[in-house]
Amino acid sequence: MSPAGGLGWGLPAAIGAKLAAPDKLVVATLGDGAYVFANPTACHWTMQVQNLPVLAVVFNNQLYGAVRSATLGMYGKGTAAQDGARLLADLRPGTAFEKLVEANGGYGERVEKPADLPAALARAKDAVLREKRQALLNVVCEY
């Protein structure tokens, strides 16, 4: 069975975990494709309305990895495998995911350099724990 069947459940599951343990820091780590499959607008709205601040870390490689893997598995020598098998899996130029959380009263930040990640995590954690608002880090990664 493909792991793609679970795409999109991570962020809603984190919301449920926060609902079950409101005093705990809940962190959801997601790929960009899984984040998109989660219907992030509805998730961030729910977190805002229900006061459920979760920290989401999105690893953004601008690619649906599950789609790419399935394509290579079925058509590894075909046209779809050309260009790194990005056909139908390419998410470039990329979405400013940090803006989606900001639209719902949260803290969002784009992180492009690995050295900047520790300080960004500290700021996001502070937004969740001290300010009691959701946060998202859009961590841009090379594939």
The angle, 0 to 180 degrees and rounded to 10, between the axes of the packed helices 40-49 and 10-20 is 10
pLDDT at residue 1 in the model: 46
Does some domain include residue 77? Answer: no
pLDDT at residue 61 in the model: 79
| Domain carrying residue 123 | 3-62+92-140
Does some domain include residue 46? Answer: yes
Please state, in angstroms and as integers, the Cα–Cα distance from residue 30 to each residue in 12, 13, 55, 60, 76, following that order. Answer: 11, 11, 11, 9, 26
pLDDT at residue 143 in the model: 67
Grouping H, G, I as helix, E, B as strand and the rest as coil, residue 62 is: coil
Check which CATH number belongs to the domain holding 50 and give it: 3.40.50.970
Does some domain include residue 132? Answer: yes
Grouping H, G, I as helix, E, B as strand and the rest as coil, residue 138 is: strand
pLDDT at residue 95 in the model: 82
Number of structural domains, the chain? 1
Does some domain include residue 101? Answer: yes
> Among 47, 52, 58, 41, which residue's Cα sits nearest to residue 100?
41
Does some domain include residue 58? Answer: yes
> Among 62, 67, 66, 58, which residue's Cα sits nearest to residue 11?
58
Does some domain include residue 80? Answer: no
Does some domain include residue 72? Answer: no
pLDDT tens string, the chain, 143 residues long: the values are: 455 567 789 999 999 999 999 999 999 999 888 898 899 999 999 999 999 999 999 998 776 666 666 666 666 677 766 766 565 656 667 789 999 999 999 999 999 999 999 999 999 999 999 999 999 999 998 76
Does some domain include residue 97? Answer: yes
Q: Give the C-alpha separation, 16 to 13, whole Å.
A: 5
